[in-house]
């Protein structure tokens, strides 16, 4: 019986939260889409994770999707709902937290946005990334969703109409709120999170929660979820990185890997924005050459950053009337990875950014994936079944990880 439903707004978020349970042997299923299909849920699953893909939607559309999923969860009698949020507060955080309240009819949801293990903390209502206020960090320059404020209440109220209250570490949880309220808690350390979680448990308020993977990592113990032995990664012949994230943190990781033995291919605008390119003769030749390079070089990165001396992606998109750059990039990466894995299980593929992994899942028509192990912070090894084979796929959130993450994981995964 499912004890916990987690709703994430992108794929890497779904996996880096789901892995907090799967790595403890707690059976965890990750689905994509807006519908909870009871017949697809394992009878022994304890945690269900749904990737709603709502991050790029309007706040109204995101609200509708999340409220619908919450209503379905109520019909399935799932007792605890955790709204997973981005640790840098990107997306429709306010409207989605409000949607949980609207979908359940409850008045309170308890939100701890901090993730101290990766330098994301909340003090006096201000969210910090590695010591810098959110808006001054690399997330302030995000090409798709730049963060213009560091005040959590302000960020949430931009997309929510309900009450939002900030609570510092010294304050106790208020009594039952008379109106719909998102309660946002400061936390600078894991002990802060544990203390607040303990207080919520004492007050029997653990059924509507929100936060990133940081808060989620404490839920197995809080909710008394127990597991069994977990699977182990399998080494393969080739390690391939599909880099769809444009985050500056990821760019530094790509450049470090290139300087330390990776073969790097930077896609031209047509190659990263036009999936139909791969059906042309030039596209087919590119795919064949890429496969040859992978088998020869063993460690390969294909990325979509704009490099000096190359045509700008945005200019190319404008010239060719390509409206959704983010979707186009993920679709192209998905098409390339599908070709690589069509007839081989000797690739371990790492994809950066939830859109990138989703692009691949759509290409192969698979909507279930099973997290197995957390290889590094925000970096999750999962298994998926396709064409009678079990493939290893690694997902990495764009804004996570030290600069050596690709080289370290290559060492883990290659023969």
> What is the distance between the alpha carbons of residues 320 and 308, in angstroms, rounded to a whole number?
21
User: pTM for the complete prediction?
Assistant: 0.84
Note the pLDDT tens digit of each residue in 211-249: 999 999 999 999 999 887 677 789 999 999 999 988 889
Confidence (pLDDT) at 38: 80
Residues above pLDDT 70, as percent of the chain: 100
Average pLDDT over residues 246-259: 93
Average pLDDT, the chain: 93
**What is the pLDDT averaged over residues 66-79?**
94
* pLDDT tens for each residue of 355-382: 898 899 999 999 889 899 999 888 999 9
Considering 119-123, 246-250, 365-369, 396-400, the range whose residues carry the highest mean pLDDT is 119-123
* pLDDT for the residue 354: 81
Q: What is the pLDDT of residue 115?
A: 97
Domain with CATH 3.40.980.20 in the chain: 238-413
| Statement: residue 182 has pLDDT above 80 | yes
269 pLDDT band, cuts 50/70/90, is very high
User: Does the pLDDT at position 32 exceed 90?
Assistant: no
Give the pLDDT mean for 16-34. 91
- pLDDT for position 246: 85
Q: Which residues, other chains included, contact 56 with Cβ-Cβ below 8 Å and sequence gap of 6+? A: 91, 144, 326, 327, 355
Closest by Cα among 336, 312, 310, 335 to 325: 312
Which neighbouring-strand residues pair with 6? 49, 82
- For 150-247, where are the alpha helices, taking DSSP H only? 152-157, 190-202, 213-216, 219-222
Classify domain 4-222 by CATH architecture.
3-Layer(aba) Sandwich (3.40)
Mean per-residue pLDDT, 387-401: 88
Angle (deg, nearest 10), helices 59-75 and 93-104 = 30
Report, as an integer, the average pLDDT of 93-117.
97
Specify whether the CB–CB gap between 97 and 83 falls below 8 A.
Answer: yes
CATH 3.40.50.10840: which residues of the chain?
4-222
* Residue 196: per-residue pLDDT: 97
Instruction: Determine the Cα–Cα distance for residues 367 and 389; give it in Å rounded to an integer.
Output: 15
Give DSSP secondary structure letters for 310-377: S--HHHHHHHTT---HHHHHHHHHHHHHHHHHTT-S-EEEEEESHHHHHHHHHHHT--EEEEEEEEET
Q: Considering the domain delimited by 238-413, tell me its CATH architecture.
A: 3-Layer(aba) Sandwich (3.40)
pLDDT band at 399 (very low <50, low <70, confident <90, very high): confident
- pLDDT tens digits along 321-362: 998 898 999 999 999 999 999 978 789 999 998 889 889 999
User: How does strand 368-376 pair with strand 28-32?
Assistant: antiparallel
């Amino acid at each position: 019986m499912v004890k916990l439903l987690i709703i994430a707004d992108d794929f890497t978020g779904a996996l880096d939260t789901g892995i907090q349970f799967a790595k403890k042997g707690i059976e965890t299923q990750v689905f994509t889409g807006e519908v909870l299909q009871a017949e697809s849920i394992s009878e022994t699953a304890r945690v269900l994770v749904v990737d709603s893909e709502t991050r790029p939607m309007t706040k109204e559309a995101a609200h509708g999707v999340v409220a619908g999923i919450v209503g379905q969860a109520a019909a399935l009698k799932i007792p605890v709902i955790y709204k997973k949020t981005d640790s840098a507060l990107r997306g429709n955080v306010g409207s989605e937290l409000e949607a949980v309240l609207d979908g359940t009819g409850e008045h309170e949801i308890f939100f701890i946005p901090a993730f101290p293990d990766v330098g994301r903390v909340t003090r006096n209502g201000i969210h910090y990334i590695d010591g810098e206020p959110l808006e001054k960090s690399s997330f302030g320059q995000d090409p798709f969703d730049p963060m213009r404020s560091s005040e959590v209440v302000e960020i949430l109220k931009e997309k929510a109409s309900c009450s939002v209250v900030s609570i510092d570490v010294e304050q106790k949880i208020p009594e039952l709120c008379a109106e719909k309220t998102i309660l946002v808690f400061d936390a600078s350390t894991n002990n802060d999170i544990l203390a607040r979680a303990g207080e919520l448990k004492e007050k029997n308020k653990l059924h509507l929660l929100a936060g990133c993977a940081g808060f989620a990592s404490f839920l197995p113990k809080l909710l008394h979820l127990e597991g069994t032995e977990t699977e182990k990664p399998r080494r393969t012949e080739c390690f391939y990185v599909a880099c769809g994230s444009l985050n500056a943190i990821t760019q530094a990781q790509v450049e470090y890997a290139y300087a330390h033995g990776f073969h790097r291919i930077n896609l031209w605008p047509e190659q990263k924005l036009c999936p139909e390119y791969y059906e042309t003769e030039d596209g087919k030749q590119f795919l064949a050459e890429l496969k040859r390079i992978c088998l020869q070089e063993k460690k390969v990165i294909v990325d979509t950053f704009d490099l000096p001396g190359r045509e700008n992606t945005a200019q190319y998109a404008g010239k060719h009337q390509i409206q959704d750059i983010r979707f186009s990039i993920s679709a192209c990466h998905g098409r390339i990875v599908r070709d690589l894995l069509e007839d081989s299980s000797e690739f371990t593929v790492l994809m950066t950014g939830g859109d990138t992994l989703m692009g691949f899942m759509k290409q192969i028509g698979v909507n279930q994936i099973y997290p197995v192990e957390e290889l590094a912070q925000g970096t999750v090894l999962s298994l998926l079944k396709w064409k009678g084979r079990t493939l290893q796929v690694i997902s990495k959130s764009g804004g996570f990880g030290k600069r050596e993450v690709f080289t370290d994981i290559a060492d883990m995964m290659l023969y």
